Amino acid sequence: MRASASPNVTKLSASANFASKVKHPKFFAASGETNSVALHAPGCVASPQMKTKVPDQLAAEVPQTKWGKTLLATPVIMTVIATLLAGLASSEMTRAQYDRALGAQLQSKAGDQWAYFQAKKLRGAMQKNSYDLLHATAEIRAIDNPALKKIPTSATTSMDSKVAAALEAIELQKSEAEITAILKPVDDKSLAAALQSAKDNSIAFDTLTAPASQALDQLEKALPASDKAAARDLTAAKMRYNAMRYEAEARLNQTIAGFYELQVRKANISAERHHKRSGKFFFGMLAAQAAVIVSTFAIAAQKRSFLWSIAAVAGLAAIVFAIYVYLRV
């Protein structure tokens, strides 16, 4: 029976054989290494100073200049730019839809004011016609009351000169292009201030005509039931006064409706502008996406210098185009 070798003896023998191979120059020549390794003990290798050589192909593929590193990051940069442009396009479209909805709401308010204008204008005309008919068929005596002699004059609506020019353009029924050119420089705050001034004048006019309405009510209550001539005179006075009052109130409602119409047009102009900006931002996003695709193909084709340059130019054009749209359109 053959005795088995001790494990320690086997390890020492293997270490000695490895050390003899490592010390031999042919070992380094065969392995391609040029560094020396020192062994201090069997089975133990000390930490030497080692140098790693980068393969030539890998070194050629790694960009060495700032421009090369920039081109290397082109896909990521273009993806970020495309995402930003897509967000801007979506935001502009949302604002366009909001302006359209706001314009519809303002148009409804303008329609209410036009309805008031038509109703009061019609009532005033009916009152005036009835007064003229009564005055022509019967003898009418004027009622001596200062509140019924004339309608109080409402205050003048304060407005900017540009707002006044826009109102005049609408009243003269100029073309849409001319009205748009006049209305574009109008500030939203000045237009809102003019609208509020017109509303305040309407409320103030109601306050000014309140004494005359109260005087008519008191005269009607104090009128004797058997005095038909006095009743006819009071009816004629009411018709005359109401005709003038309805005419004045109709003009106030017309002014308010005109300001609402200007706001509607401003909202539509803004909606058109945001809609155009959304479309242009979308085209910029497509250019950035094209740059991403080109740079991705460049990675796959290993032709980064030419294709990445195209991608970078496309991305730069997308950025410049987006800035132009944001500032000028």
Q: Is the dihedral of CA 164, 170, 173, 174 positive or negative?
A: positive
Give pTM, 2 decimals: 0.67
The whole-angstrom separation of Cα 293 and Cα 79 is 10
Q: What residue spans define the domains of the chain?
A: 1-42, 72-328
Check residue 151 and report its DSSP letter: P
Per-residue confidence of the chain (329 residues) as pLDDT tens digits?
444 444 444 444 444 444 444 444 444 444 444 444 444 444 444 444 444 343 454 345 545 666 656 666 777 888 888 889 899 999 999 999 999 999 999 999 999 999 999 999 999 999 999 988 888 888 888 777 777 777 788 888 889 899 999 999 988 889 989 999 999 999 999 999 999 999 999 999 988 888 888 888 888 888 787 788 888 888 888 888 899 999 999 999 999 999 999 999 999 999 999 999 999 898 888 888 887 777 766 665 555 556 666 766 776 777 777 777 777 77
The whole-angstrom separation of Cα 36 and Cα 28 is 8
- CA neighbours closer than 13 Å in the CB half-sphere of residue 144: 0
